[in-house]
Chain A
């Protein structure tokens, strides 16, 4: 019993002294951020590591905001090197970055992602316009020129062509980058199209406030019409499995993998596909980014190589693995410019 205890105590002391020595040199590239960009970052990391077995890449998820927040904590091996994001970095976040010493940030747009609206595969086809979603989900809408609490409880009240289904929309929760795109491209557009924006501006006396009010989502009837999904798309799919008359918001890639369970709706008359999103015809899409901490280039082995590999034609090009997995590729000219940005590490401020 006794020698065992002494060995244990020695090991404890060793571990404790290990814990006390700070700031390890690091030989892994660390990436964190958007869960939408995660599948792509994972594929790139895997392929990159297969080709260059001397480098290691660790990819974490957590959401665009969380990734950028970690990225902006400072310079040094204990902070991440690349933040993935499904939206452009905000000026306030750049300021926070600069305040922590992260002054040189390289912004890289690597492709587009489409957001699709889908219902159970056995249901009818939907042809949506942004205003339909606004009328379904807004807390207040204009009826006969007056702003009233949203009276719509069934889809066929919005458009007689829709089925007699109770409105139950499963939309991404507030922490998702997808939510922002949904608000801006669907609710905001619908708000304007229905004239609610004008009515709200008149009521609130300020267009900025009215625009913000447009993006609110109804909470009446116990919140059963608009349900926030804080988890990932499999959760949304499970909800639609449980409620066959629900309509969910998905990423294009997730839908393509589950096309045998889901029926996708058109938006603005356009069916979402890689082609319609790349050309910009399909209205609800967003660019995907990653941000490089320039101060880490040359310090963390493999960082520059990873960044270059990511934007190379064999990765993000039309025949590359990312496109095969649902990424909508950049147009050729844009891809070329991006490659140059990464190669020269042109920082955000230095852009012409």
Chain B
């Protein structure tokens, strides 16, 4: 094979600009990128596009939409083992919004705060997809 098949990353975020910026970073990092601007499209693409990893904004439209997207993706056959990164513009792990996922909350692989440094993001994705 002349070229290696590119890994595919799904980005779900209702902020178009954030999608564009992150897409540029990921493409530069050698990934194929699929974009979804809302939760519903995100879940559909997670099923159809079978990405190797998905990055999901926690605070789309309403607080909590991210949660339901994650549950739905985890409920898919293709999504059971898909590495998931949750993004938020709020420091979810800081002392004041401490986000403690409940027992029944589907597992995500990583929680990151926006903005994410390009090199960090690429490194995390590499670690999670190999």
Do A and B associate with each other? no
Residues of A within 8 A of B (CB): none
